[in-house]
Structure 1
Amino acid sequence: MKRGINVVELEAVHGMGIRKTLPAGGLPEFFGAAFGRLGEYIAREGGKVSGMPLAVYYSVTESAVDVEAVLPAVFDVLENLPSEGDIIPADLPGGPAVEYVYFGPYDGMAPIYGEIEQWLQDNGKVSAGPPREVYHSEPAGDPSTWETHVIWRFA
């Protein structure tokens, strides 16, 4: 996968998630706690994490972000496990998508969304759901090495 925009066929994602609306400044704390709790829940219920942690952004305004932290997972049972408090099954559809591979700190990602929206417009495509960010590296060490894939399904 090269840096910048790539067109991909996205596989469906099944796992467990926690969705919350919070101020944008609260995202690092939310993700740290949510991914930890999701990992504990999946392990306790006999599942295995099957992919990179990701976030689904349902709405972003200046005052609040409606976001879901998701850990892809597989379980021995055929269907997802039931909800437990704010931990809920997460089923994200696959399909054609634009994937932007980004290296750098999270606060430098805003222009990526504009580039993806421009690509969709230039190519006669429309959004087919909220964008996702897939985190391919831990937010530790040199921020210029952090790898994030911004993915937006289209129709």
Structure 2
Amino acid sequence: MGYIIEMIETQEQPTLVLKTVTPVSELPKILGKAFMDIVTHIMELGEQPVGPAFVGYFNMDMEHLQLEIGFPVSKPLPGKGDILPGSIPAGKQVTCMYKGPYMEMPPAYAEIKQWIEEKGYTPIGTVYEHYYNSPDEVPESELLTKIVFLLE
């Protein structure tokens, strides 16, 4: 399809997250509440997210997805209850901005994986999706998601 794929180097990014394990079918239910709870906590601390909501995928087992749901923040902040301080590690990342329905993302993932292999990089297994808008705000065809593979 001709996605724009780039390799970048980033600094560690502080986050506030909720960690969970869930089947993919439960994601829509879980994400909305988690995003709201985290934003509420960030605002209670007198802070604002410094970027879009994200989900970190630590495996691709569709029945037992290991997830980290969160927001980037300007500095390490204290957690509360299930909300934990975390970070996206510094290092090399391969990124691709995807536009369209979430269910039609597999070709973008395939192209990114092929690009990584052709360039001789090794992914560490964690993939992040950063959500720049939501199905509540725009039609599915207009959804913007940055896909990020962390590299060794």
Question: Normalised by the size of structure 1, how large is the TM-score?
Answer: 0.88
The reply on whether 1:145 has 2:138 as its aligned counterpart is: no
Per-residue Cα deviation, 1:117-137 (whole angstroms, up to 9, x for no partner): 211111111013501001111
* 2:86 paired residue number: 90
> What percentage of residue pairs aligned between the two structures are identical?
26
* 1:108 paired residue number: 104
Which runs of no fewer than 5 residues in structure 2 stay unpaired?
A: none
Structure-to-structure mapping, 1:32-51, within 5 angstroms = 32-51=32-51
- Return the alpha-carbon distance in structure 1 between the equivalents of residues 48 and 62 of structure 2: 36
Distance change >3 Å, CA 127–CA 115, structure 1 → 2? same
Structure-to-structure mapping, 1:1-150, within 5 angstroms = 3-74=3-74, 79-81=76-78, 83-140=79-136, 141-150=138-147
1:3, distance to aligned residue in structure 2 (A)? 4.5
- Return the alpha-carbon distance in structure 2 between the equivalents of residues 67 and 73 of structure 1: 18
Q: Name the Cα RMSD after superposition.
A: 1.8
- Return the alpha-carbon distance in structure 1 between the equivalents of residues 11 and 69 of structure 2: 18
Q: Which amino acid aligns with 1:36?
A: M
- Return the alpha-carbon distance in structure 2 between the equivalents of residues 50 and 3 of structure 1: 26
Which runs of no fewer than 5 residues in structure 1 stay unpaired?
A: none
- Return the alpha-carbon distance in structure 2 between the equivalents of residues 100 and 10 of structure 1: 15
SS at match of 2:36: helix
- Further displaced range: 32-41 or 109-118: 109-118
Aligned length: 150
- Return the alpha-carbon distance in structure 2 between the equivalents of residues 15 and 58 of structure 1: 16
- Further displaced range: 66-75 or 23-32: 66-75
Per-residue Cα deviation, 1:66-90 (whole angstroms, up to 9, x for no partner): 1111111236xxx431x32211002
1:115, distance to aligned residue in structure 2 (A)? 1.8
Question: Normalised by the size of structure 2, how large is the TM-score?
Answer: 0.89
- Return the alpha-carbon distance in structure 1 between the equivalents of residues 94 and 72 of structure 2: 20
SS at match of 2:73: strand
